[in-house]
Chain A
Amino acid sequence: MSRLSSAFAKGHPALVTFITAGDPTPGATPAILDALVAGGADVIELGMPFTDPMADGPAIQEANIRSLGAGTKTADIFRMAADFRARHPDVPLVLMGYANPMTTRGSEWFAGECQKAGVDGVICVDIPPEEDPELGPALRAVGVSLIRLATPTSDAARLPAILEGSSGFLYYVSVAGITGKQQAALGSIEEAVKRIKSTTDIPVAVGFGVRTPEQAAAIAKHADGVVVGSALVDLVAQHGADAAGPVEALTRALAEAVHSAR
C-alpha cells in the first residue's frame, strides 16, 4: 500500500496540512514540517512558491513572496523533500504549485526529481485534465500520484475526466474562489462529497477556507480528509522562524478534531 493510501486507511479521517516551502526562509522549513508531523498531520502538502500564484489569496501570496525573497530555488525544495523523507519514512509528502515551475525543465525532469526525493504526489493548480499531457504522463510513468482538483463548478459531466489518470486522493475545493477566503456552507460540501464518492473509490479531501478545529471536524464527518493551509501559513507569517511551536499546537488541535469526527 502506498504512503498516500495508508494515510487514508487509518480508520479515521485524515488531516492534510499545507505550508509554503522556504517560508520565511529555506532554513526554517524542516522544523515547520516536523511540527506538522508531531502535531498529527496525516498528509503534508509542501507549496512550491511561484511569482504569480493566481489561485491564492493574500496569505499564501505573501508566503510566496517571503519564500522567493529569501532565495528559495526549486533545488532547495527537492532537498527539503528528500531530507523530510529520510526523517519521516512513512508520512506522505505532496508538492503543490503552478505549472510553470513544474514544467520549466521538462515534465520528465520534474517527475524524476519527485521520485528521487520520495515525493508521493503532485497537485498542479493550473493544469486541468484538458492539458494533462503537460505533466500527467511523466508523473504516472514514475509512480508519483497526480492529485487533481474538483470544484463546485465541476459538474457530473466533468468528473470522469478529472478522475481519469488521477490517484492518491481527490482535492475537493469547497468554494469557487481563491485560497484562505470564505468557507462554503456545510450542506453543499456534504452533497458534493457524496456525489463524488458515488463515482469513485479515491479518497476525497476537502479544502479552501478551513481554519478552525470546529470547521475541520464538521467537514470530516463527511469527507475522507480535510485540508488546512492559510491558517497555518498565517502562523508562519506571524511567528517567522519561530513558527514551529504554534504550528504544532494548531496542527494538534486540528488533528484531534478531524480524527475523532466520526
Chain B
Amino acid sequence: MKRLMSGNEAAARGAYEAGVTVAAAYPGTPSTEITESIAKYNNIYAEWSPNEKVALEVAIGAAFAGARAICAMKHVGLNVAADPLFTVSYTGINGGLVLMIADDPGMHSSQNEQDSRHYARAAKVPMLEPSDSQECLDYVKQAFEISESFDCPVIVRLSTRISHSQSAVETGERVDYQLKYYTKDINKYVMMPAMARRRHVEVEKRMLALQEYAETANLNTIEWGSKKIGVITSGIAYQYAKEAFGDVSYLKIGMVYPLPEQLIARFASEVETLYVVEELEPFLENEIKKNGIKVIGKEFLPVIGELTAQLIKEKLLGVKQEVNEPLMENIPLRPPVMCPGCPHRGLHYVLSKLKLNVIGDIGCYTLGAQPPTESLNSVICMGASIGNALGMEKARGAEFAKKTVAILGDSTFIHSGITGLIDVVYNKGNSTVIIPDNSTTGMTGHQDNPTTGLTIKGEVTRQVDLVKLARAIGVDRVRVADPFDIQELKKIVKEEIASPEPSVIISQRPCALLKNVKHAGALKIDMEKCKKCRKCLAIGCPALADKGDFIEVNEALCVGCRLCTKVCSFNAFETSDSAEKAGALNG
C-alpha cells in the first residue's frame, strides 16, 4: 500500500523493515522525527540519549553485540559524535550500523550549514544520499546490507527538504533478523595502537572494495536523455536539477562516497557539456575534477544556502523566471519568537533589565537575542555557554564575572553543560549558571530528556535532579526560582552574580505548549487604567499589539500567563470575558 511519508518517517520505516532492534539519538532539527517514528515500533528499543556521542556509542555497542542498530542526529550533532565515528570506522561492526545525518542547508533551524559529506571522506565510511521518501526507506535498508558486507558503519545523509518533505512510499515487510554470533575479539574491537595499526590497513582495503562496489551499485544510475547536456547530481539537488534541465542526461549519485570514478568518466565522455549540481560545498565537483574531468558547477552555483530549480535555471542556463514586482516595499519580517506564555520571557526580561553579559546556548531561550530583550552576547554550540563564560572570566577577571551569566536549558545542560560546570568548580571560577528548566526539550518539538522522568516511549524512569547534581559537582550555591516571579528572580540573580563562588540558578516553569500545562485564559486591557506607557511591550509578548492610540491584547493568542501584569504599573490588565478562547495555538 502506498502511504504518504516524510523522509524521516520513511527512514524510520526502513530501519524497521531492516530488522533494527536498537535505535539511539539526541533530538535535533531536521533529524528528530526519525527516532520519534522509530520509537512507535514496539519491537525496537529506542532511546533519547543525553547527547549524540552517547547515542552513537549505544548504537555501536548494539552493533558489536550482533544487532542491527541505527543512530540519528543533525549535522552539528555529528561533530559531537565524531570521536566514536572515526574509530568505529577502524573496528568495523558485527550487526549492521547506520548513522542518519540530517544537514540543514539554508539554516532553517541551525547555527551553521556545514556539509556532512566531508565526514564520510574524513572518517573513511561510505555515505548514501536519498532524493525522496521512497529512497529514504530503500537506502536505509541497503545501508544495512553494505554495512554488513563491508564491515563498516554507513552514513545516510539527509537534508531539511528530504527529511521534512512527504511523498508516496511503498512499504514492505520487516525481515526476521537474527542476532549475529558475538565473541570477544581483542584484535578487532580493542583499539590500542598495535591493533589499530592493523585495522587501518583493513580500512584502506575496504575503501578500495567499496569504490569497486560503487561502480556497479544500483544506487548510482544513469538516465539518458539529450546528450548535449549531462548533469551529475545527488539528493534533493537531483529533484531541482530535473525540474531545471528537463530532458537531458543525468547521472544520479545515490552513494556520494566513495564515488564511482569509472562510471563518472564514461558518463562524462558521452555528453557535450557536463554540470555538477549539488547543495553547499563542491564535494562531488572536486572529486570529479581530481580525475581531470571538466565540469561546470560552483563557479556559478552558490555554496551558501539551498538550491532551487529557478536558481539552477538562472545560474547555469541563463534563464530568469519572470516574477512580479513586490506589491509593497518593506513588508515587516516575522522572525520566530518565544510563544505566548513562554517561561523564558520572564527570565530574558530580568536579564535585559539587569544589563548583564548573557552567554547563551542552543534552545528556545536563544530567541532572547531578538528584540525587544536582545539579551544574549554569544551563542556557539550545545553546552558552550558555561565554558565560554568561564573563559571570559579568566580573560577579564572576577569583576567581569559579576556582570556575566551563562544560560542553557535543562536538556542542553545534560547534553554537554555538566562538564563545563565541573570545569568552573575545578578551576576556581565564579560563574553564575542559569538553567531555564522548562521540563522538556522545547525547540525540537517536545522530547523527553533525563530531567523529565519519562523515556522516549513515555515510560516513567528515574529523573535527574538538577539541584542535587549541581551540589554533587561542588556548587554550594544552588537556587530555584520562578521566571514569572520577576522581582524574586531579579533578587536571586543579583545575589548570585555578586557571590565570589560558582552558583547555579534553576529557573523553573514548564513550557507553555506542554499538554499538561493549563492556561487561565486571555486577558484584556482596561482602557481607562492604561496610560499607554508601553512598558508591557518590553517583555516581547506576541499577544500584545501596539495600535498607536492604544495597546491591545490579541485574545486569540493570549494564554493568560499574566507576565504583563507583573510589569504594568497601573493594573490595566484584567481577565477577558472570552477567557475560554484560550489555547488558540494548535500545532
Asked whether A and B interact, the reply is no
Chain B contact residues, CB within 8 Å of chain A? none
